[in-house]
Amino acid sequence: MVEKKKALELKKHVATIHASNKLSLLQRKISNALLYNAYENLLEQEDHQIHIATLCKIIDYSSNDYKTIKRALVDLLSTVIEWNLVDGDKLATQGIWNASSIIASASIDGPICTYSYSNTMKKLLYHPEFYGRLNMQVQAKFQSSYGLALYENCIRFQNIEQTPWFDLAKFRKLMGVEEGKYKIFRDLKSRVIEKAVEEVNKYSPIFIEPQYRKQDRQVVAIQFLINKQNSKEKKSLVNSPIELSSILRDKFGFSKKQI
């Protein structure tokens, strides 16, 4: 049912990466897999089809409990994403606001899943000017929604070797942390940040390390330094040139050329 792709890579619009949503690990994997499957015909076709077995293979779902897949699809229908949390500050000042459900419709007939996207989502997702490259084989390895969310939010910045600074409220939205959960920072750090960082460093081709910005001894923002190297060469980035570059830029206002 699905034409074989040359590479298991999805160009995902940064707006939908840096979006506010509370997707479970399975829901996040399925939404990426559905977009990967539909991408080439996103504008030409109203409906897209995928064999459930193919979907399960892409997301590395080994169970025969297809009812769980069905429930995840229903949840995707009712999940609204709001974008863009990272690059959208100037848009917000201009009175522009965007939100949409992830998929517009879905049905399962025997082994075939048929689904569609709203016009808004199709225009946003197809041939994006700014995107992150998500590898479907890498995605399949993740064991938590926080780990996969952090991978998506870091992989886009791999070429500049660091993410922007995220204030904690924005970071919680990016990671899909429910409101009121892990209010104390040490809980957020141990339950979300450290576990997500561990998964990214274990499963993905990048190695990340968090940096914390404090105000009155309270952590108010977080940034991730990114190093592209294979797993055998991964090492701590403490006191690295990447950290020095960040300090020279953020604290002293150096340009890239000056650094």
**What tens digit of pLDDT does each residue of 57-99 get?**
999 998 878 888 888 998 888 888 776 555 544 444 554 567 7
- Tell whether pTM > 0.85: no
Residue 159 in this model has a pLDDT that exceeds 80: yes
Please state the rounded mean pLDDT for residues 16-33.
83
- Cβ(158)–Cβ(206) under 8 Å? yes
Give me the pLDDT at residue 244, please: 76
Give residue 180's pLDDT band: very low, low, confident or very high (50, 70, 90). confident
Is the domain spanning 8-140 CATH 1.10.10.10? The answer is yes
Tokens of 60: 């590395």
Of the candidates 57, 59, 63, 56, the residue with the CA atom closest to the CA atom of residue 108: 56
Give residue 237's pLDDT band: very low, low, confident or very high (50, 70, 90). very low
> Which residues make up the CATH 1.10.10.10 domain(s) of the chain?
8-140, 142-252
Distance, in Å, from the CA atom of 22 to the CA atom of 20, rounded to the nearest integer, reads 7
Question: Class of the 142-252 domain?
Answer: mainly alpha
Q: What is the DSSP letter of 204?
A: S
- Cβ(79)–Cβ(142) under 8 Å? no
- The strand pair at 218-228 and 98-101 is best described as unpaired
